[in-house]
Amino acid sequence: MVDDRFAEARRRLILEIEQEAAVTEPWTGRSRFAPAVMAAIARVPRHEFVATTERDIAYANRPLPIGHGQTISQPYIVAVMTDLLDIAPGDRVLEIGTGCGYQAAVLAELAKEVFSVEVVPTLAAAARERLIRLGYRNVSIRVGDGYDGWPEHAPFDGIIVTSAPPRIPDRLAEQLRPGGRLVIPVGAAGETQMLFRCEKTSDGAITKEAKLPVAFVPMVPAGPAVE
């Protein structure tokens, strides 16, 4: 799956993520990310998830456009959000915001099953084809409203949201199992957003820890304007 043409670019990216993890430890509480997470980032061919015109910069540690007003997230952000999810090999994970499928691929390297919801049909179809072509058979994708989650497959061990709602959606919290983790950016577009790591307690309450100031595209509900 890995293209040797990008070996050096991948190596530099891993070093940059490690350095940024150390710098952001005062926020995240994690000076380095789990070896399994870093290995997953190294294995996933990011150049396959960007436009051919962007492949020369596919391993730059920054977001890139993927169309429809969406982006492929900065690799460091993918790494920190994945690490905060604390995925175990047998976990079932829900992703809200499939986009190009890159984050789903990283999750699929770590979890038993990944269920991903995308509001833009064109992005969902392209991501599904791409992930199948790359051999990721443990990812299921559907077109739908991210605020609704995927209740038919709940409860989930982890939920990760790759766009920012103004507050944590109740329906997503409901679909988390007791002991499960939710990693989500919260805040209005154009304002400082905060990345939260949440856990569901045995009595169904949600605890929240602010982890990092971030900037994500807004989480939009499904509607007739989405294409």
Report the DSSP beta bridge partners of residue 186: 194
Which ranges in 44-164 belong to alpha helices (H)? Answer: 75-85, 102-108, 121-133
Give catalytic status of residue 73 as yes or no: yes
Q: What is the DSSP letter of 164?
A: B
Which ranges in the chain belong to alpha helices (H)? Answer: 7-23, 25-28, 35-43, 75-85, 102-108, 121-133, 170-174
Quote the crossing angle between the two packed helices 7-23 and 35-43, to the nearest 10°: 150
Spatial separation of the C-alpha atoms in residues 166 and 91, rounded to whole Å: 27
* Cβ burial, residue 1 (10 Å; 0-12/13-18/19+): exposed
Spatial separation of the C-alpha atoms in residues 198 and 195, rounded to whole Å: 10
Within a 10 A sphere around the Cβ of 198, how many other Cβ atoms? 20
Spot the catalytic one: 73, 116, 163, 202.
Answer: 73
Spatial separation of the C-alpha atoms in residues 138 and 202, rounded to whole Å: 28
Spatial separation of the C-alpha atoms in residues 96 and 221, rounded to whole Å: 11
Phi/psi of residue 168, nearest 5 degrees: -65, 120
Q: Which residues are catalytic?
A: 73
